[in-house]
Amino acid sequence: MKTILQLRDDRAFQPSGTADELPHAERQNILQSIKKTIAKLPLLLLGAILAASLSAMSGYAAETDETGIRAYEQGEYTKAIDYFNKQSENPNLSKSARAYACFGTGNSYYRLNKPGLAALNYRRALELSPYFTEAKSNLQFIERKEGAILPPDTTENQWLTYISHDALVPIAILSGAVMLTFLALLTVSRRHGVLLTILATLSGLVTVAAVMNYIMYPETPESIPPDRLLVVTKKTPARHAADMGSPALMTLPESTPLILRAERGSWYYASTFQNTPVWIPKTDAQPL
């Protein structure tokens, strides 16, 4: 490519009237070289993306204190938790680095057989870095293993099954804007009237579906503000009232997320994502 550009410069900046046509064979050779370079661009871009991802992940670890990682690798999980907690609470670190520290805390708690506290820290990691795949996978593993009581996930309640609750509003706004654009084009111009009508109708249906899905969508841990989300850190009976003598409605497994409704002394008043109101001691759950 450098040779081609140099040839261009040599010929483009010659005095007027002195430039001559390139031979056909040379022109074809230049075209073939450009085509080969363009064909390699997808691979180059993919390599650049992978390199950026790897450097970002290594950057997370590099930005956090290596002492915690070494303690974890040596099986000193309590010491690792202390170091990781300091990093996760350090406001001078980036959100990605703090998420990595929360992830390390979660792994350490799991090694200490405390799945509730592990799930809590995985959720904290996801709050800081929503696309932290490893934290999400570990959280889902713990919730399945412990039998956590989670939001209902049925097609009746969630029409757009594979779309998160937070994505529904942007989808509704975007599809609504597309619908209005097609309607405006249909009003201004009669060309392609059938196509514009079909596209406007389809985008309108998507808008209505997204709005209705948002209204009917069950609450999920991701849709609850962090200061209203609790995680059960110790297997506990969910009681009918704020009294140890009150009958238990159910047993809440560790890692179960809850919606905080109120606090009364040493008790949390909360509700499960199955819409069951419960009272639990503050010692058995922690806020996100």
- What is residue 286's three-state secondary structure? strand
Domain that holds residue 245: 223-287
Q: How confident is the model at residue 212 (pLDDT cuts 50, 70, 90)?
A: confident
Percent of the chain clearing pLDDT 70 (strictly above): 77
pLDDT of amino acid 189: 76
Pairing outcome for strands 236-239 and 229-232: unpaired
Per the domain annotation, does 183 fall within a domain? yes
- 244-280 exposure pattern, b = at least 16 Cβ within 10 A, e = fewer: eeeeeeeebbbbbbbbbeeeeeebbbbebbeeeebbb
Over its C-alpha atoms, the chain yields an Rg (Å, rounded) of 29
**71 lies in the same domain as 137:** yes
**126 lies in the same domain as 170:** no
**236 lies in the same domain as 209:** no
- Alpha-carbon torsion 38, 43, 45, 48, what sign? negative
The 10s digit of each residue's pLDDT in 5-64 is 666 666 665 555 555 566 777 777 777 777 676 666 656 665 565 555 444 444 555 555
Look up the CATH number of the domain holding residue 272.
2.30.30.40
Q: How confident is the model at residue 269 (pLDDT cuts 50, 70, 90)?
A: very high
CA distance 56 to 50: 10
pLDDT of amino acid 159: 60
Look up the CATH number of the domain holding residue 96.
1.25.40.10
**178 lies in the same domain as 243:** no
CA distance 68 to 57: 16
Q: In the listed set 146, 180, 201, which residue is the last one of a domain according to the structure?
A: 146
The domain tally of the chain equals 3
**210 lies in the same domain as 228:** no
